[in-house]
Chains A and B, each alone.
Chain A
Amino acid sequence: MSGAASDLIRRGAPQGCRPFERYLLTQSAFAGLRDALAQEPTLALLSLWAEPSAIHAVFLDEGAERPALLLASCLASDQKYPALSPVRPGAVRFERAIRDLWGLSAEGGVDLRPWLDHGRWPVQAPLSAKPSRDPVPPLQPEFLPIEGEGWHQIPVGPVHAGVIEPGHFRFTVQGETVVRLEQLLGYTHKGTLSLMVGKSPRAAARFAARLSGDTTVAHALAFALAAETATGTQPPPRAVLLRATMLELERIANHLNDWGFICNDAAFAYPHARCGELREGVLRANAAAFGHRLMMDVVIPGGLSVDLAPGGEAPILAALAAAESEIAPLTTIYETHASLQDRVVGTGILKPDLAARFAAGGHVGRASGRGFDARCALPHAPYDAMTFATPVLTEGDVDARVRVRIAEVKESIRIVRALLAALEPGEVHQPLPQKGGEGIAVVEGFRGEIVTWMALDDGGIIRAVFPRDPSWLQWPLLEAAIEGNIVADFPLCNKSFNCSYSGVDL
């Protein structure tokens, strides 16, 4: 791959990150990235985070035949670094979060308002070298100015009407039509990164598993793979197959859940009830096979904390058979009820060019023409030896996001059966050596790709870590997708995205 920006990055000093290299750039070279990135639109920004005195960015070359990641870093000087948000809109929330957590500000950034810090913590810049303990008054959120006539605002949250996570949505409405949605998140900020740093990967894995409970397996797996890559550890083959089995079971359960909830948000209860029952079947099978309904804390660095229970395949296969036999009739019901189709078709359209500009992953990207699936594009074992179909649609509406999910459930059922059939007896854990290193891993969770980077010091203790949930790049697109829709369709749009709050609030 080559291009103005990727060439510029590769001229930096290699830092030894595996399996994709990280290059340290001078501040002026990093500032030059801004122009270079404008000339190389296929170099997508996937993640941006900091350490007390440096910032790191992950790019994906989407133009290349064999996609690869490229990492670029630069040291901050005077607590500042050159912003990327003028050329990569997805950088905005990262830059706001970096300011709040590490106290580094993005010079030339397009939006410098606080994000995670609501003025409620006992410290400021908690992850910086010298966090300040000067008390500050709670911050009043600032929203973008509104111009024009006949508008009013509807503030929603942080406590929502449904059983969902907390966040604030500020709708600006003309008549019934939403002209702007602005999100304010950070309400579930638990300081998770500060709890992970300074621990061994084994001890910090329980935080990775609790970044976002619905995608606990995917986060734990990305975390484990990053630690294993950093230390050059090879998990046993049985663990590799079982991890992928769990990842797919998690995808099946969540997609079924979302499908049901989307129908329910259109006041169509039957699919909700049925999907709920099928999903519950999968969760009970998880409990029987792995001892936990959500399979929390089962994936750990080096392999698994528990093996598949004896006879654990049977409940899994039974739950999958039940789901499989119901998908076709449920799809027919979904397709043939005008009252439901009327709500989902043409609602909440995310245009393909926007999805591409933000490098949106998962069902959000794949329903809007961006086919990236980390299991195919950047596969880890066992996906490197498998073939499967990735559904891609271009309509970009709620319906397309539902259809992508349905197609993925079918593929995942097939994948789980193949994985279980290939299972051989053996060990499921290989302890990590206590040594230093730096690694990055990409895992396709049910929402999209999770990108976790980790740096270990010589004693094998986490010096810095950043798990990037796919929702970072999807949340801002929900703001775009709802524009021009009626307020009453927001729950549908929101559920069709189903972004994680906790995963991005950290």
Chain B
Amino acid sequence: MLWPRLGKRLFGRPVTDAAPAPPDAVVQALAERLEATARARLGRSLAIREVDAGSCNGCELEVNAMAGVLYDMERFGLRIVASPRHADVLLVTGPVTRNMREALERTRACTPEPCWIVAAGDCAVDGGVFKGSYGVDSGVASVLPVDLVIPGCPPTPLALLEGLLSLLEAQDAPKPRATPAA
């Protein structure tokens, strides 16, 4: 039952959706950030560790969907890894609950340099609807320096994929012209 179905799939068209194009402005901003922080560049592939810093689990559903067959993030060299020690990117969701803050900081401490930090979801951006509660900090940026935010409640798999692809593009982007001092 399985083999004939696998065989059929082998000769059929892939079910995977077409690749999204990351927005130029985001790529450019990331490239500038890369330059400004004089970080070593990573290659054409990124190992991603997802850290749930107290989400409602909606964001996790969409991250998992992005790893599924239709979005298939691995075709771009984006891979979810099991340990922060293997990661180039920390993809953080949730408002950062006070009970998760130390775990997030320790996860960052375990991640080798260079490391991108992505705040995914409205909660991770600034605490979202939970902002102001005694139980949460106000988003990832209140704990760690954030390189990229992907808003949405939850962000769609496509939005997540676009965000992660801009990280890849930024590595390749030509060196940005010197930006006027801020």
Contact = CB atoms under 8 A, between A and B. Distances in A.
A3 interface: no
A280 B133 contact: no
Contact of A333 (B2, B60, B70, B95): B2
A276 B129 contact: no
A163 B67 contact: yes
B42 interface: no
B98 interface: yes
A501 B67 CA distance: 22
Nearest to B68: A276
A273 B1 contact: no
Interface in A126-180: 126, 138, 158-159, 161-166
Contacts of B136: 190-191
A502 B95 CA distance: 12
B61 interface: yes
A277 B70 contact: yes
B101 A120 contact: yes
A401 B68 CA distance: 23
Interface string B90-109: 00001101111111000100
Interface in A260-291: 270, 273, 276-277, 279-280, 283
A270 B6 contact: yes
A213 B97 CA distance: 16
A347 interface: no
Contacts of B170: none
B51 A159 contact: yes
A337 interface: yes
A121 B64 CA distance: 31
A190 B54 contact: yes
A187 B54 CA distance: 6
A166 B100 contact: yes
B95 A276 contact: no
B171 interface: no
B8 to A, nearest CB: 11
B161 interface: no
B56 A211 contact: yes
Contact of A190 (B2, B67, B133): B133
Residue of B1, B2, B99, B153 with most partner-chain A CB within 10 A: B99
A210 interface: yes
A52 B107 CA distance: 37
B82 A161 contact: yes
B52 to A, nearest CB: 5
Contacts of B64: 163, 257
Interface of A: 116, 118, 120-123, 126, 138, 158-159, 161-166, 186-192, 194-195, 206-207, 210-214, 216, 257, 270, 273, 276-277, 279-280, 283, 293-294, 296, 329, 332-333, 336-337, 500-502
